[in-house]
Amino acid sequence: MLDDADEIHPLFHGAPQTTEFKKLRKRIVRYAREAIEQYGMVEKGAKWLVCLSGGKDSYTLLAVLHELKWRGLLPVELLACNLDQGQPGFPATVLPEFLEKMQVPHRIEYQDTYSVVMDKVPQGRTYCALCSRLRRGNLYRIAREEGCSAVVLGHHRDDILETFFMNLFHGGRLATMPPKLVNEEGDLFVYRPLAHVAEADCEKFARAMNYPIIPCDLCGSQDGLQRQQVKQILDQWEKNSPGRRQVMFRALMNIRPSHMLDPKLFDFAGLTLGNDKIDQISDEVPKLR
């Protein structure tokens, strides 16, 4: 992962030369490449809309994808996109200037979804659901207009874990953000190449590269959000037992339908005694310990 060539993408100009940073960068790129390959994200010649919010996660995503593309490991066209949602005080010039300087093809779209959210969401309710729905609809539209086959998001391992527990605690279901899905209309992929990357690594990377991070002042200004509460629980678990986040994340990749309770995923009613039947379902029913 050393920059041993004369040309390196501008996103990596000035990268720290410390051993610690080189290991961090290599780890993030390796995890992203593994997720891209494991979940079959690459279609040769495809065009991806890389969504850039200005947060640490999306900057990390942008840099990692360009790293892979520069090294010939990601044969797709990348178009960065920022959706300016009209939030008061949003530094509208930061991202366009950054992307121009970094020579990154991009599109900046202005849509005042902020006013819609403030008008429609009652006092005391959280903004996240409506805000994300409006943002997603606009990003899908932009992807279609630009001829993209995929919308690429910067959600990382911790986002996926938090969403799982939010669904568990508040939604009554076992579900989370998958690394790859097809939108409801069936015409676009949604990819999350940072699915295996820890939030702490994204933060260390973006700050070490001195990218101009823009905080979200809309949802970030609200207290008592369910995601914040779940994050606090996970932080405490991690503090009590370091590495627990990674163990829980591995569990999401090691699901045993026969040891859950959903009859739509496993034919409990069809279970019978006898060697023939047991042989047929041996792959589904692990031996109890």
Binding residues for [4Fe-4S] cluster: 128, 131, 219
Task: Note whether 93 and 131 are within 8 A (CB).
Answer: no
**DSSP β-bridge partners for residue 79:** 49
55: which 2 tokens? 């947060």
SS3 sequence of 217-236? CCHHHCCCCHHHHHHHHHHH
Sequence-ordered list of residues with C-beta below 8 angstroms from that of 205, at least 6 positions apart, any chain? 24, 25, 28, 56, 60, 63
Which residue is listed with tokens 């207290």? Answer: 223
Please state, in angstroms and rounded to a whole number, the distance separating the CA atoms of residues 96 and 76.
22
Please state, in angstroms and rounded to a whole number, the distance separating the CA atoms of residues 64 and 72.
13
H/E run at residue 59: helix 56-70
Widest CA span in the chain? 70
113: which 2 tokens? 């979804």
What are the φ/ψ torsions at residue 47 (nearest 5 degrees)? -125, 130
Task: Output the DSSP codes for 143-162.
Answer: HHHTT-SEEE----HHHHHH
Known binding-site residues equal 128, 131, 219
Please state, in angstroms and rounded to a whole number, the distance separating the CA atoms of residues 81 and 145.
12
